[in-house]
Structure 1
Amino acid sequence: MDVRGRHNVVITGNQDGPVVVLAHGFGCDQNLWRLVVPALGRDHRVVVFDHVGAGRSDLAAWDPQVYASLDGYADDVLNLCAGLDLPEVVFVGHSVSAMIGVLAANRHPERFAGLVLLTPSPCYLDDGDYRGGFTAADIDELLESLDSNYLGWSAAMAPVIMGNPDRPELSQELADSFCRTDPAIAAVFARTTFLSDNRADLAAVGVPTLVVECAQDAIAPRAVGAFVHARIAGSRLVTLDATGHCPQLSAPEATAEAIMSFTGDLR
């Protein structure tokens, strides 16, 4: 199967514009980008896709050993760019996909015009002076809860991740997205997400990079955004006046504007 079928690739927008590839986070699929795609599409060729194991990807391609590491996902990103014969792309990675983009760009920087790291975290675990937002006990409890009752975990975690308690429809959408994911696949991806430590990879980033954080984010607090910005030489940091971990849903206009301002400066 080619990369289009493997990843349920959809290409829209201005086919003569610079290429923006949008990569979703854990438990989600490309649908979570739908509110920013129209704005980006006016001047960009927009590529959305589902990671293997998510959305309408080819589930037969999922392998628990390959995807027990973010390297498996980074390989997919590089194969997708090559298979679609894309020119230098601006890769927008949400949440865990931010570090997937970092790994891919470090491996083949010539394929990337830039990186947009949307609510990134290189390490969710507190470690000495580094505050990732979670203790080891927190992570253990999170993973045990996911294993024992995935639907219950989804219902409980979605409001924490999304924030915006005054807009419960956003949390419901995220919970529904979680529930569409195969629990066995979600369990592997959750471990890959929450147990990875990519702090050492940040200093190797050599392409222009925008770090986008939210003013309030329970999953990737602002100390993490500051850490990522400090470790990637020449990066730019933008703090959205937004709450939660998914600003492409909660603040799509501001998210699209941050991306477009960055890509405009690359031209």
Structure 2
Amino acid sequence: MNSSILVRNNVMLMGQGSRPMLFAHGFGCDQNMWRFVAPSFAKDHRVVLFDYVGSGRSDLRAYNPERYSNLNGYAQDILDICAALDLKDVILVGHSVSAMIALLAAVKEPQRFHRLVLVCPSPRYVNDAPDYVGGFDRKDLEELLDTMDRNYIGWASFLAPLVMRNPDRPWLTSELNESFCSTDPIIARRFAEVTFFADNRRDLPKLTVPSLILQCSDDLLAPVSVGEYVHRHVPRSTLRIMRATGHCPHMSEPEETTGLIKEYLCSA
């Protein structure tokens, strides 16, 4: 066991089962965002939680701008953790940008993984007319990044309610906003650019590991059409449209999220 990797990524373990289940958080978040879902799998799985380098309580000294200049660097974090713990037959759950990071990891080392669960995935946030609607024009995202440079706190308070999209439960928006604000602004800015300008559409058909796609019914960042696109292009994928709205169903609707994952795993 490589303990330096476990410290670097603030790896936490729980559960009694033998099959590992690894949860990967989204942009501006950390492993704590899985606290409503991950414990439900601890009875039957060896649950693995972690923070990407630059997020949460990871070792910020390990952050390398060159390594993390694209999503493959983050995928390597996942593979490093799997190697450090000698994980095999892994169920890998990735939220938002981590859905594509998980896909990249599974394409690189498919033998490591049993199933993928892609929560609110998007292979491309930028619209590419006439055939692909990612949800944003490039200039809109450039303006968003410019706002991050000029007023990071203001950017966080603007984006959090749009991402969470559950105005009747303001505490969820507050938690996401606090998570954004607790991230190092320079690292967050780089991660945001890598996330929003990535284009992983060509990687989708390369995935050979069976996968579940959880698509929220009203998601500003990843519209239903994007979930359907991922489903069409990922072999051996299953698409479930959720009642949940927003981009963080593991926080806003953890029971539905947990139920759909368990249903999928039981039918596998």
TM-score by length of 1: 0.97
Identity of aligned pairs, percent? 51
What does residue range 72-221 of structure 1 map to in structure 2 within 5 Å? 72-128=73-129, 129-221=131-223
- Cα separation, 2, equivalents of 1:262 and 1:44: 15
Instruction: Sort the Cα spacing of 1:2 and 1:15 in 2 relative to 1 into closer, same or farther, 3 A.
Output: farther
- Cα separation, 2, equivalents of 1:194 and 1:171: 21
Counterpart of 1:29?
Answer: 30
- Amino acid of the residue matched to residue 220 of structure 1? A
What does residue range 12-23 of structure 1 map to in structure 2 within 5 Å? 12-16=14-18, 18-23=19-24
Segments of 4+ moved more than 4 angstroms: none
Deviations 1:82-127 (A, max 9, x none): 1111121011000000000111111110001011100000000000
Q: Secondary structure in 2 aligned to 1:2? A: helix
Partner of residue 247 from structure 2, selected from 232, 245, 248: 245
Displacement after TM superposition at 1:15 (Å): 3.3
**Contact kept? 2:209, 2:236, Cα under 8 Å:** no
- Cα separation, 1, equivalents of 2:236 and 2:54: 34
Q: Secondary structure in 2 aligned to 1:186? A: helix
- Cα separation, 1, equivalents of 2:85 and 2:41: 19
Q: Secondary structure in 2 aligned to 1:152? A: helix
Displacement after TM superposition at 1:263 (Å): 2.1
- Amino acid of the residue matched to residue 140 of structure 1? E
> Number of residues paired by the alignment?
265
**Contact kept? 2:17, 2:43, Cα under 8 Å:** no
- Cα separation, 1, equivalents of 2:56 and 2:42: 22
Counterpart of 2:258?
Answer: 256
Mean alpha-carbon deviation: is it higher for 134-143 or for 257-266?
257-266
**Contact kept? 1:90, 1:263, Cα under 8 Å:** no
Gaps of at least 5 residues in structure 1 are none
CA-based RMSD: 0.9
